[in-house]
Structures are given as C-alpha cells and as structure tokens.
Structure 1
Amino acid sequence: MSEPALTLDASGLKCPLPVLKARKAIKGLEAGQTISVHSTDPASPLDFKHFCNSSGHELVSEAESEGTFTFLIRKGA
C-alpha cells in the first residue's frame, strides 16, 4: 500500500474535534487518496466508523498502540 497523501495528528483533542479536523482535511484530497489520522480520544474508533459510513469514505484500517489510535481513510467519490 502506498503512503497516505496526508497525515493528521489530532492527538490530545476530544470528540468531536478529531473527526471535524479530518473532515476538513479530507476535502482537499482527490477521490481515492488516503489520509492517516492519529488520535488519543477513546471515542475515536466509534466516531471515525460513523464518519466514514455517513460520508461515503472507506475506513481502510484502524490500529491502537499505547493509547494512540491510527486510522487510514480513503476518500470516497
């Protein structure tokens, strides 16, 4: 898999800010490009799943390490 077109560090931000910042950042991407988002908010996994399902983007992967969640999102059409 290729490197994400953009990486967003939303560490330290609480709901809904990580998703809001990701939504704003993803607008600048072309359809099919990916963004990697890092968040420390425990609600992030549920928030990003809902965001992707409701906005037509694909949650490619989700991982957690030492309290930091990493999401790889592919922009929809």
Structure 2
Amino acid sequence: MSEYEATRTLDVTGQNCPMPVVKTKQTIDDLDGGEVLEVLATDPGSMSDVAGWAETTDGVELLEQVEGEDVFRHYVRKTDQ
C-alpha cells in the first residue's frame, strides 16, 4: 500500500499505450498544485510510460510506482499552481 494520500484516482485498467499517459495528463491538468493523482493501470508498459512522461513534464512529480499482481499503481503530484 502507498504512503501517499491520493486526491483523486484515475482508473485506466484495460487501456493500452498511449491512453494511460493521455488520461493521466488530462486529469492532472484539473488538479490543484500539491494534489496527488493515483493512476490504476493494467498495461505493463505504463510503468515506463508514466515515468518517462513525468520526467519530461514540468509541473508534475512521480512519487511512487507500485507493481501489483494485476494492477500497476502510479502516484503523481501536481507541483505547480
């Protein structure tokens, strides 16, 4: 279980690249600075896709990624206002 308190959860299970990243970006744009988005995905590629997106995107910080049995959890914080 994560130590982060998610403000919102985005369920993109069953969706493949690039949709987890596209939906994550759309949802993070609606959050306020400091809020945390939990993303639930089943696409194994989402681990590298979300990490790469967060690394190259200003205003977001990848806090943690948890690889579960069936679901990958990504915790992303919006850092700008």
Q: TM-score range by the shorter chain?
A: over 0.9
Structure 2 counterparts to residues 38-49 of structure 1, below 5 A = 38-49=40-51
Structure 2 unpaired stretches of 5+: none
Q: CA deviation at 1:66?
A: 1.1
Q: CA deviation at 1:2?
A: 5.5
Structure 1 unpaired stretches of 5+: none
The one of 53, 59, 75 equivalent to 1:72 is 75
SS at match of 2:56: helix
Runs of 4+ with deviation above 2 angstroms: none
- Corresponding residue of 1:32: 34
Q: More deviation in 58-67 or 9-18?
A: 58-67
Identity over aligned residues, as a percent? Answer: 34
TM-score by length of 2: 0.88
Distance (whole Å) between structure 1 residues aligned to residue 14 and residue 4 of structure 2:
27
TM-score by length of 1: 0.92
- Corresponding residue of 1:10: 12
Q: CA deviation at 1:3?
A: 2.3
- Corresponding residue of 1:63: 66
Q: More deviation in 56-65 or 35-44?
A: 56-65
